[in-house]
Structure 1
Amino acid sequence: MNAPLLVPVLVLLLAVGGLMGFRDAPNAVALAVRFRALTPRVALILSALLNAVGVLLGALMLTLGLPLMVAGGTARPEVLALVGVAAAVTLGWGVLAWRFRAPTSTTHALLASLAAAHVASVSALGSGLDPAFENGARWEVAASLLLSPVLAWGLARLTARPVLRLATTGTTVNVQHRARIALAVSTGLIALGHGVQAAVRLLPLAVLAATAAVGTGLPPGTELSAAFVAAAAVLAAAVGIGTLGGAWGIAWTLTERLVILDPLRAAVAAVVPAVLLFAGTMLLHLPLSSTHTGVAGIVGSGQTQSYASVRWGAVARVAVWWVATPLVCGSLAFAAGAVLLPLLG
């Protein structure tokens, strides 16, 4: 199950990177385009460029730990198939959710699939349980799934009214101008954070796949810098190209189906996930989903309006997709792993 599988697994990981760019583009551009802070073309080009830059920045961060990933240890041969199963399930679920215009987290789908496929390998092959896969992925999915929307919702609700009081001085034109500046800046920040998240999720999996293809791990001192830089550049291109697709159906869900916002509340709803995305990536090292925080920020900001603007039926449907993502992806990955791993082994 080693070398012949490496190329298709790496292609699947690149496809997941493109899917991340495609599906996450609305989180960055939807509100800015809706309130005319940026034109659709400019928003997508800016987001694609900053997504690519974010991937390269994330790769730079990972280079510090690259020797630890490849030195000395034994890479289990089933890891290559495990990564392939998780990537395939993530890709299929992401496409399905896009068809239904559902804003879901690709990162949560990937982590749940990895954990479940690993448990399947333990069951099918009798290998020992790796706590880094099972416990780490379970904690990250649970923490970010449950806590990040609550945190974003609370921050948006707390900050919306003070921001409105401070920002509504002056003429209507000046107020709208300030809101549009905040929306444009948040577009860039979210796109940059997306790229970093894509790199720190997918590049370590590519390294794991490569070491598993060798079969016995790489010897200490193995130089992978050139290959790693090339992989980062290709992933950056894939994420950037995927971003240009826009996924406007999901953008329509974010801007029209959940809450009707004014420009200033939209600015609050956009800035909150931008800040949390960087805090999660740089400080907490958790995959705080921009989709989850973005939707929660929109709802929290919308609740500060004097009339009932939140469409709770649409919010509930989105929440069902969020809960279904780790459950369905985990189940599919476990089933696929239980069937495929013994055949490949």
Structure 2
Amino acid sequence: MKKIILLLYLIHFSIVMQAQNFQNANVKKFIDKSINIIENNAVNVENITSIKERLYKKSVDFKSVDEIAPLFKEVFKDLNDYHGNLKYNGKTYGWDKLTESTNTYLKNKIKNETKVKSVIINKQIGYIRISGNDDFAFKKVDSIANDIVSNINSIDSKKIKAWIIDLRINTGGNMYPILLGLKEFIGNNVIFGGFVNSKNEITGNWEIKNNKLLIDKNLLERKSELIFPSKNTIPIAILTSGYTASAGEMTAISFIGRDNTFFIGEPTANYTTAVQGFEINKFAAINLSTDYVIDRNKKVYKQNIIPDYEVKDGDNFENLNKDSKIKEALKLFKQFSY
């Protein structure tokens, strides 16, 4: 016990001594403000002491705050947070963790397949592909949600007996318009997901109540409606890939635990955290992963989503009937009597 106390004291003493020798007081001020924000908000702070000590050590001789920003690449790595970053003077500094996906076909499709796509497969299966979006300022919620609804309505009829929701190239963005567009499929009178912090405290709920979408009790409304709104129990296959990230993953999680629902494809990208922004000064802000996502059964997602049926490669947007993930979905749908 005495050894542990002595070690903690030596670490504290080392940090204090470094703090006394800063060449520029503003450098220390910037670090202290950043560390305070991280310590009070980040979902993972187990390395915070070593992070602070290393920042002090590396920047003690810095003449300008401008020199600090590149150090935050390592900070986010130590936080195990590649969803967050530092914004400083118009530049972004974060942990550039490489994706584990080797699916070059889908990687190339991300660049060009940016619109919602819907078709009928085998006369009875509805198919909708939803790519990522850039609505980080919440200015396109209506247009994105209405586009999804329009695509569903364009192929829907009483003949459609099951749906495939394709999130393989959904690299993220704003999840709320996607959930708003798909709310009838997700369910009704159900809390279907939300967030928890590092203390496992619920910090937000996603709910559909009386066919209305509520995010943290805030009502999100849609301007268009489905022609055939009864979707609660219709069989659904969710398709995922290593490029399904952030909002794409959260959309997928919103369906986990739903009856008659299958997940097919490849493990997702592992961006299953909520990110919040905090101002450091007028030139800098820090985006942090502050919460983990939970599904309707309160399962916490600290890692990526593993599909029920893992199918690698074989993607074919040009001929969906030859697409390996879609073929697996059609096989699974055969258990249902239409």
Measured against the shorter chain, the TM-score band is under 0.3
Which of the pair is proportionally richer in helix? 1
For the pair shown, the structure with the greater C-alpha radius of gyration is: 2
Structure 1-normalised TM-score? 0.26
